[in-house]
């Protein structure tokens, strides 16, 4: 129970990596706020299930991470946090000249600007406590590029920059800020890309996964949400107290290529 007494907020955590991180933080003893933009009975039921499963205090708070006011209000509403995981993210795939402006704006708002707003709202409480962990979920695409994902890649490179600046401003105050850079993890955001890739490459699902999606992941395997959660728990540990302003790749070797 190394995180007993710590209060965590994980944005965009009613599915995928965010949920995996919330689960591991709760298993390590933190109280956890899970979040998304929806306010469905299933969201609250998910928090209750996680609480029962882990024995931790877990609750769901609705806030739309595309809205600066709601990003800041989320942190205010829960009375601040010791651990902030900026995870909410969306994807859209199109050539730059055909990329819809509203998709660009939404991706920059949710994948990048939300982290600025939640961090700005959370830091004063962390400074007062003399302890804090900000963990930004970037991507292998925060360090490398691929075609047709301009907004996502711009946002993920941006969040790596925000991570470094946050770390420098908070250095020496008991607060660290790092970015986890996952390679492909089989979550809904990736699942949604498979049918298009099958059509584009005229391949079946398994071939597209192996030969297209995992072609840049030398391990040939998806990373898992449990591995993202374990990395986040490590970054919250005393062993990681001097790790700040850096990126941790969990990508099966993608960025070693
Ligand atoms: P996902 O689609 O399962 O999760 C995205 C989460 O963000 C969901 O909980 C969704 O409800 C939430 N969300 C979307 N719009 C929101 C909004 N306006 N306000 C609040 N929440 C919102 O996908 P995932 O793979 O779990 O992605 C999580 C993060 O990990 C994203 O930042 C993504 O870019 C990053 N990532 C994923 C992969 C991968 O292969 N899956 C790889 C690298 C990075």
pLDDT grade for 189, boundaries at 50, 70 and 90:
confident
3 state SS of 138: coil
Residue 4 φ then ψ, to 5°: -55, 135
The C-alpha atoms of residue 47 and residue 64 are separated, in whole angstroms, by 17
* Statement: 7-185+223-256 belongs to CATH 3.40.50.300: no
- Give the DSSP H or E segment for 118: helix 114-129
Mutation test residue for ligand 1: of 13, 16, 64, 84, the one with most atoms within 8 Å of CB = 16
| pLDDT confidence of residue 39 | 97
| pLDDT confidence of residue 234 | 98
Is 152 annotated as catalytic?
yes
pLDDT grade for 1, boundaries at 50, 70 and 90:
confident
Lookup result for tokens 């990048």:
112
pLDDT in tens, 140-165: 999 999 999 999 999 999 999 999 99
Structural domain boundaries in the chain: 7-185+223-256, 186-220
Average pLDDT of the chain to the nearest whole number: 97
3 state SS of 4: coil
The C-alpha atoms of residue 237 and residue 114 are separated, in whole angstroms, by 25
134 bridge partner residues? 84, 177
CA of 135 to the centre of ligand 1 (A): 14
Lookup result for tokens 């995928």:
16
CA of 12 to the centre of ligand 1 (A): 6
């Amino acid at each position: 129970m190394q995180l007993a007494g710590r209060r965590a907020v994980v944005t965009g955590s009613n599915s995928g990596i965010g949920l995996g991180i919330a689960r591991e933080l709760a298993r390590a003893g933190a109280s956890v706020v899970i979040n998304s933009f929806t306010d469905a009975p299933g969201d609250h039921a998910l928090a209750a299930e996680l609480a029962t499963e882990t024995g931790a205090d877990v609750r769901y708070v609705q806030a739309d991470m595309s809205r600066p006011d709601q990003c800041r209000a989320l942190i205010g509403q829960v009375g601040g946090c010791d651990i902030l995981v900026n995870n909410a993210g969306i994807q859209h795939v199109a050539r730059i000249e055909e990329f819809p402006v509203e998709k660009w704006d939404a991706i920059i708002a949710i994948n990048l600007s939300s982290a600025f707003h939640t961090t700005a709202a959370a830091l004063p409480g962390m400074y007062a406590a003399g302890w804090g962990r900000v963990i930004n979920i970037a991507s292998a695409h925060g360090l490398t590029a691929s075609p047709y994902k301009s907004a996502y890649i711009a946002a993920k490179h941006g969040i790596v920059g925000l991570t470094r600046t946050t770390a420098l401003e908070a250095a020496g105050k008991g607060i660290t800020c790092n970015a986890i850079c996952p390679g492909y993890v089989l979550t809904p955001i990736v699942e949604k890309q498979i049918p298009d890739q099958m059509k584009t490459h005229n391949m079946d699902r398994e071939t597209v996964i192996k030969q297209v999606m995992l072609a840049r992941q030398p391990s040939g395997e998806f990373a898992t949400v449990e591995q993202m959660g374990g990395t986040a728990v490590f970054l919250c540990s005393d062993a990681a107290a001097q790790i700040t302003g850096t990126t941790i790749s969990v990508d099966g070797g993608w960025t070693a290529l």
